[in-house]
A and B are shown apart, each in its own frame.
Chain A
């Protein structure tokens, strides 16, 4: 680290090397280079999300209706509490990371080890939470129909205004529809599993249930989804072509297709950052235990991975705002 010589003759020669105008080591500067470029990458993603949202400003899914799960609280509508908890976990693991860096400045090996350990645990809990969030998102809750034009039709109870699941209204019809395999037709079209109900079954059930009406993607002037009248709904359901349960990169039951794509892409990319951060922290953690940095005489490596870790936290603050709050 200490490469600078304090030769008075050399100090007057600024371009001769040996001076450190930014007072930061090579490694730290390179980490900053990476962080600035990665910040621009993330802003590119978030801005393109904003683009799609502004383009579909009158029909974008409402986050509070999509992310409603909380562990061990089945069937209870708990929007946002879980992501808020995830935010706290990540901020807290950021704090333990700063404490590790601070202990490193004082060469306290035991403390650095302990705080790094807490940081890794926090990161692992966060990645696990995100996996759980993804699981709920992919599995879906109520199911929906999709029209030929890609519009999502959801079902609500006319009297209570509550969402109705496809399984609750569908009337079973005996059919012999088989899962389409690539070997039975054009090789590039195949499906892994059939939806639990068919469009015909949902249609029959919908016609039998007088109370159920259709909710479309379009938002009304108060920012709620438009609910059609019973007569309009009976007409609208004829446009349905597909049953959508849960979400993937092609369809999702929550509304606009791009919503799920951006959710998977941005939270996935962020989750990948957290995951790689945990791995890097683990490597540093073992290096601390074996005493690499004691021998080196400074804990600057902890500071460098700390920068990366805080950056991941910083990105999450923005992802949290733009996906869940705004």
Chain B
């Protein structure tokens, strides 16, 4: 892969870099900002984000979304998926984004069910 084949635009072309090195530093700054936001929210824990939304705190949803954003930029720019052919992109990403949410869904649903059984059952777990 030659150097001139790098796709130097991020944020859907909103931000274009002159060279690959510049793009790397730009992505680093972006990832750092996201991490700082995460740590800041984790320490402050604003009260208005503690409201439950879809069975989880709003704050936790924000953390998970920011994590996925970070994962996207690590994979796309550091691991150069952005420069790969469509076929390779798809064969890497599709199995993961199909299998992992499916696994998360069935396993967490089961965990929630067992929580209900243990709470409402006739056996005391706290002795």
A→B interface (CB under 8 Å)? 21-24, 29, 32, 35-36, 39-40, 43-44, 47-48, 50-58, 64, 79-81, 84, 87-88, 91-92, 94-95, 97-99, 101-102, 105-106, 147-149, 151, 216, 218, 223, 239, 303, 306-307, 310-311, 313-314, 317-318, 320-321, 324-326
Task: Kindly list the 9 A-B residue pairs having the minimum CB-CB distance in the complex, ordered from nearest.
Answer: A54-B111, A149-B127, A51-B111, A321-B67, A22-B88, A84-B39, A310-B78, A55-B111, A325-B63
- The count of chain B contact residues (Cβ–Cβ below 8 Å) is 55
CB atoms of A95 and B24 under 8 A apart? yes
Chain B neighbourhood of A306, CB < 8 A: 78-79
Nearest Cβ distance between residue A268 and chain B, in whole angstroms? 21
CB atoms of B1 and A105 under 8 A apart? yes
Nearest Cβ distance between residue A322 and chain B, in whole angstroms? 8
**Cα separation A97 to B80 with both chains bound (whole Å):** 12
CB atoms of A52 and B111 under 8 A apart? yes
Chain B neighbourhood of A39, CB < 8 A: 96, 100
CB atoms of B43 and A79 under 8 A apart? yes
**Cα separation A324 to B43 with both chains bound (whole Å):** 11
Q: Say yes or no: A48-B127 contact (C-beta < 8 A), given A21-B87, A80-B39.
A: no
Chain B, 8-48, contact with A by CB distance < 8 Å: what is the 0/1 string?
Answer: 00000000000011001101100110010011001100000
Nearest Cβ distance between residue B18 and chain A, in whole angstroms? 13
Chain A neighbourhood of B67, CB < 8 A: 317-318, 320-321
Chain B neighbourhood of A318, CB < 8 A: 67, 71
Q: Say yes or no: A91-B63 contact (C-beta < 8 A), given A53-B111, A311-B79, A317-B74.
A: no
B→A interface (CB under 8 Å)? 1-3, 20-21, 24-25, 27-28, 31-32, 35, 38-39, 42-43, 50, 60, 63-64, 66-67, 70-71, 74-75, 77-80, 84-85, 87-88, 91-92, 95-96, 99-100, 103-104, 107-108, 110-112, 114-115, 118-119, 124-127
- Which listed residue, B60, B108, B119, touches A47 by the CB 8 Å rule? B108
**Cα separation A57 to B112 with both chains bound (whole Å):** 8
Chain B neighbourhood of A321, CB < 8 A: 38, 63-64, 66-67
Chain A neighbourhood of B38, CB < 8 A: 321, 325
